[in-house]
């Protein structure tokens, strides 16, 4: 009597294991791929890119190492995907801010600065590696796309500011290009700097000064609005 009962229990447990394995095997490939990207990003941010190994990623994802290489050729390939994700986040966020009808142009520009600070802080350990001179293709990808694809949202904000009498420039598109160029130039080389450090504070103050000149606003207009928003 005991053996049939044990056999049924074993059969039930075995079927559950097979069912779980079937779920793992048949999991939507795109979901699995996104899961690996998200886990890799989390580990890169926590441990650093160089310190994270593929086996760390697959262990946290609870998959075989072969599963990782089914989706990605290498750790560098998954970093490339994360870089694409960050580029998309930056462009999408700036477009979203530019279209917020309840904000005036100055408020939108302040939100752009706030987003930039928050994004740099949240992604610092990865972006430091992306912009390292050894990773030219990743750095180049950022430098080629961000300045070009964010000109539209910025120019939209600047045109609104002109209409509202906040900004005074005849060339909003060129002002947007200058904004991107100056920001990249001034902040170059301090991706790992603490946002509370004197070095970063001075660099950020310089950006406010340059942008106010480009947009023809009274000195301190944008900076003061930013300080008020930060309180």
Instruction: List, as one string, the DSSP characters of the chain.
Output: -HHHHHHHHHHHHHHHHHHHHHHHHHS-HHHHHHHHHHHHHHHHHHH-TTT--HHHHHHHHT--HHHHHHH-SSHHHHHHHHHHHHHHHHHHHHHHHHT-TTS-HHHHHHHHHHHHHHHHHHTHHHHHHHTSTT-HHHHHHHHHHHHHHTHHHHHHHHHHHHHTTS---S-HHHHHHHHHHHHHHHHTT-TTS-TTSHHHHHHHHHHHHHHHHHHTPPTTHHHHHHHHHH-
Asked if 105 and 145 sit in the same domain, the reply is: yes
Asked if 213 and 138 sit in the same domain, the reply is: yes
Q: What is the pLDDT along the chain (231 residues), one digit of tens a residue?
A: 544 544 454 455 455 444 444 444 456 889 999 999 999 999 999 998 999 999 999 999 999 999 999 999 999 999 999 999 999 999 999 999 999 999 999 999 999 999 988 888 888 888 878 877 777 788 888 888 999 999 999 999 999 999 999 999 999 999 999 999 988 877 665 555 566 778 778 888 888 999 999 999 999 999 888 888 887
| pLDDT computed for residue 161 by the predictor | 97
| pLDDT computed for residue 6 by the predictor | 44
Range of the domain at 52: 2-71
pTM of the model: 0.79
Q: What is the CATH number of the domain that holds 62?
A: 1.10.10.60
Q: Work out how many domains the chain is built from and give that number.
A: 2
Instruction: Mark which of 26, 44, 71 sits at the end of a domain.
Output: 71
Asked if 209 and 151 sit in the same domain, the reply is: yes
């Amino acid at each position: 009597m005991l053996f049939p009962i044990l056999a049924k229990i074993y059969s039930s447990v075995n079927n559950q294991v097979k069912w779980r394995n079937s779920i793992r095997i048949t999991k939507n490939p795109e979901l699995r791929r996104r899961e690996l990207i998200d886990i890799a990003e989390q580990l890169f941010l926590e441990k650093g890119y160089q310190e994270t190994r593929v086996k760390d990623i697959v262990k946290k994802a609870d998959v075989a190492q072969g599963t990782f290489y089914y989706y990605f050729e290498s750790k560098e390939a998954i970093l490339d995907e994360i870089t694409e994700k960050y580029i998309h986040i930056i462009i999408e966020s700036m477009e979203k801010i530019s279209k917020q009808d309840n904000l005036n142009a100055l408020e939108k520009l302040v939100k752009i600065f706030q987003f930039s600070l928050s994004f740099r802080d949240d992604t610092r350990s990865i972006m430091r590696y992306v912009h390292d001179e050894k990773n030219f293709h990743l750095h180049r990808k950022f430098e080629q796309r961000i300045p070009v694809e964010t000109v539209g949202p910025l120019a939209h904000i600047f045109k609104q500011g002109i209409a509202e009498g906040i900004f005074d420039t005849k060339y909003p598109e060129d002002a947007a290009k200058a904004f991107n160029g100056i920001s990249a130039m001034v902040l170059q080389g301090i991706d790992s700097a603490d946002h509370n450090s004197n070095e970063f504070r001075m660099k950020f103050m310089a950006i406010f000064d340059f942008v106010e000149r480009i947009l023809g606003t009274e000195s301190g207009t944008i900076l003061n609005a930013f300080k008020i928003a930060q309180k």
